Amino acid sequence: MSRTKKEVNADGFTVKALMRNSVVARPPPTGVFKQRPSKPTAFRTYYERRELPIVVDHNSRGKNIAWKVDIEKLDYQYYLPLLFHGLCETEYPYELLARQGIHDMLERGGSKILPVLPKLIIPIRNAMNTKNHQVMCSTLRILQYLVMSADDVGVALVPYLKQILPVFNLFKNKKRNLGDAIESRRDRESIGDLIEETLEILEHYGGPDAFKQIKSMIPTYSPA
C-alpha cells in the first residue's frame, strides 16, 4: 500500500521548494499601492493659529472660502508653498481651504508664480507619495492648472519631473473600474486617466525637452 506523502509548506527559491511534496507559499504583498498616513501639515498648523488669510465662507454653506486680504497683495513666496503643503490634507475644512486657496492664487498670480516653482516640488511629491486616491487626484488637477497658469512654468518644471514622476509610473495603469457601483463619485475618478492627461499637458507646455524627460521616467508613455 502506497503512502501519501504529507505536503510541506516552503518559501519560494529555497531547497525545500524543489521537493515533490512541497507547496510553495505565495510571496507576501509588497504594499506598493498602500496608502501612507499623512502627518498634520504645516498648512493646518498655521491655519489653526489663524496665521493664514483665508477662512471658510459660511455664506456658501461651507463650500467656498473667503480671503481676508486682496490676493494680489500676498507674498507668493511665503503663502503659495504653505497652501501646497495642504494638498496632503483629507479632512474638512483643511482640504477645501488648501485646494481652493491654491486655485485662487494661481488664477491671479501671473508672473509671481514662476519664481515660486522650486518651493512647490516637495509638497507636490509628498502629496503624490501618500498614495491616497483623493489626495492624488486633487494634486494631479492642481498640477495641470499650475502648468497652464503662467508663461514658462511648464518649461521650468521639466528639470523637476524626475522627482514627481516615479509615482506616476506606478499608478498609470490604475484605470476606472466601471463595474463598481458603490464607489463615490470622487473614488470613481481614475488616477490612471488623470495621470495620462497630466503627462500630455506636461509634454505640451514643457518645451522640446519635456517628452524626452517623461519618456526616460515612464518608458511606456505614448501621447494620444
DSSP letter string, 123-180: HHHHHHHT--HHHHHHHHHHHHHHHHHSTTHHHHHGGGHHHHHHHHHHHTT----TT-
Q: What is the per-residue pLDDT across 160-200, written as a single tens digit (0 to 9) for each?
A: 999 999 989 888 887 655 444 444 444 557 888 999 999 99
How far CA 46 is from CA of 53, 54, 68, 81, 86, in Å, comes to: 10, 11, 15, 12, 10
Residue of higher predicted confidence among 37 and 98: 98
Q: What is the per-residue pLDDT across 36-71, written as a single tens digit (0 to 9) for each?
A: 667 789 999 999 999 999 999 887 776 889 999 999
Question: Phi and psi dihedrals of 55, rounded to 5?
Answer: -145, 165
CA 8 to chain centre: 44
Question: Phi and psi dihedrals of 177, rounded to 5?
Answer: -95, 95
- Grid coordinates belonging to 141: 488637477
Q: How far apart are CA 224 and CA 221, in angstroms?
A: 10
Mean pLDDT score of the chain, rounded to an integer? 84
Q: What's residue 59's pLDDT?
A: 79
Q: How far apart are CA 119 and CA 15, in angstroms?
A: 52
In sign, the C-alpha dihedral spanning 32, 209, 121, 196 is negative
Q: What confidence category does residue 20 fall into, taking pLDDT thresholds of 50, 70 and 90?
A: low
CB 85 within 8 A of CB 101: no
